[in-house]
A = this chain, B = another copy of it.
Amino acid sequence: MLLAANAQLIALEAKLFHGLADPSRLAILRALLDGPLTVNEIVARTGLSQSNTSNHLACLRGCGLATTEQNGRFVLYALSDERIAQTLALADEILATVAKSMYECVHFQPAPRRASARAASTKPRARAARRLRA
């Protein structure tokens, strides 16, 4: 069956698309279409929190979709491949046709992502000890 034959490739494709399947990451990638940006610039342009932005950037970088370049205290992020821009453009073309159904599609609700994680780290960081040694 098809699945078995291309399982490996399909798994990678799924990961790649998954990387593109989040509004926050898409906003970051679109911001990078205009050229490399520092983290703070990305934060400013996307409106995401610093922490959240950094997490997504780590994700994009880890998956190879973005590259980094240290620049003094700053880190410049950039798209790793021009085909990423092409993919986004192609997606927009597809949406020109299926936007309506896609909008009405109930699968994959964007997740309300309520701003209320109400979390509070109770356990002390192990790294705290490391600093004491320094």
When chains A and B are docked, how far (Å) is the Cα of A103 from the Cα of B2? 20
| B10 touching A21, Cβ below 8 Å | no
Q: Which of A6, A13, A45, A106 has the most CB of B within 10 A?
A: A13
When chains A and B are docked, how far (Å) is the Cα of A122 from the Cα of B13? 38
| B108 touching A64, Cβ below 8 Å | no
When chains A and B are docked, how far (Å) is the Cα of A87 from the Cα of B106? 23
Chain A interface residue count, CB cutoff 8 Å, equals 61
Q: Which residues of B contact A31 (CB under 8 A)?
A: 2
When chains A and B are docked, how far (Å) is the Cα of A103 from the Cα of B14? 11
Q: Beyond the given A1-B45, A83-B93, A84-B94, please list 19 additional residue pairs across the A-B interface where CB-CB is below 8 A.
A: A2-B46, A3-B23, A3-B45, A3-B48, A9-B92, A10-B26, A12-B102, A13-B88, A13-B92, A15-B105, A16-B102, A17-B17, A18-B108, A62-B101, A63-B98, A63-B102, A64-B101, A64-B102, A81-B94
Interface residues of A (CB under 8 A from B): 1-4, 6-7, 9-23, 26-27, 30-31, 44-48, 59, 62-65, 80-81, 83-84, 86-88, 90-95, 97-108, 110
